[in-house]
Amino acid sequence: MRRYFIAGNWKMNLTRAAAEALATDLVAAMPAGDSPVDVLVAPASPYLLPVASVTAGSHVELGAQDAYFESAGAFTGEVSVEMLLDVGCTQVILGHSERRHVLGETDEFTGKKVEAALAGGLKVILCVGELLSEREAEETDSVLDRQMAGGLKNVDERAMENVVIAYEPVWAIGTGKTASPDQAESAHDHLRKWLANRYNSEVADRTRILYGGSVKPENASELLGQPNVDGALVGGASLKADLFNAIIEAAVELAGS
Ligand code: 13P
């Protein structure tokens, strides 16, 4: 049985004070003792340290929104895996559609980052997802196949223990348009079959596949209730403690049912 995983991608939002306050509210709302759901927040990099001091010792894990594949040197503006570990991150989001489509990052570039993050000891949330034009041209499966192949190029079966996949259809990100539960389930099922093909059925069964794209408290239960949806990567709704907590609560309820 895969554990639900609810991750908040704060993107380039909040102030230091607001990030600390949000993390404080989330930590306070986490159930005491063992939680049946894994929870992570990914603040903008200047706020990793202050948020780390709030989440330390809690069940809320700290993630980064990106990392570079070189370990040090003349790479102005970039942040290494070692630096992220040093400030308390356990995970990193890689291949987010905004990095692919706003910043022009390729599958190959994403694959190098995935490889470096895993080698350095960070868990990876690898994002994949098609544009609206690609969906309309019935290219969703082939786009996902290409992004998976590039992102996981040098990742072996063992390293896959530290990888989570996030399916984020680009047309559903920040638009208020959510993929229907059927659309999400069908893409997740395709991704799981891809994992079985590339690795084996054990890797396919244990790898968590999150859905991302306008997840809100009102649609969380239905999306998370799909057999191949193992969690959510939440953008906008992760910036409000009450909304994010309600999504976590939906996962807790499903985990107990
Ligand atoms: P929204 O939840 O704002 O649509 O963002 C989704 C996302 O991109 C999470 O990584």
Residue 176's domain is classified under what CATH number?
A: 3.20.20.70
Residue 28 Cα to ligand 1 midpoint, Å, equals: 24
Which tens digit of pLDDT belongs to each residue from 210-225?
Answer: 999 999 999 999 999 9
Residues with CB under 6 A from ligand 1: 9, 96, 168, 173-174, 212-215, 233-237
Identify whether the C-beta of residue 209 lies closer than 8 Å to the C-beta of residue 224: no
Predicted TM-score (pTM) of this structure? 0.98
Residue 34 confidence (pLDDT): 84
Residue 96 Cα to ligand 1 midpoint, Å, equals: 10
pLDDT at 257 over 90: no
CA-nearest of 73, 67, 60, 62 to 30 is: 60
Tokens encoding 151:
């992102």
Rounded mean pLDDT of 194-211? Answer: 98
pLDDT at 31 over 80: no
Cβ neighbour number for residue 256 with a 10 Å cutoff: 8
**Domain count along the chain:** 1
Query: CA-to-CA distance for 208 and 81, rounded, in angstroms?
Result: 22
Rounded mean pLDDT of 10-33? Answer: 95
Which residue's alpha carbon is at the smallest distance from atom 5 of ligand 1? 235
Q: How confident is the model at residue 1 (pLDDT cuts 50, 70, 90)?
A: confident
Cα dist from 16 to 39, 112, 148, whole Å = 20, 31, 34
Structural domain for 169, as ranges: 4-255
Rounded mean pLDDT of 174-203? Answer: 96
The average confidence (pLDDT) of the chain is 97
Rounded mean pLDDT of 94-104? Answer: 97
Residue 72 Cα to ligand 1 midpoint, Å, equals: 30
Residue positions annotated with a catalytic role: 96, 168
Residues in the chain: 257
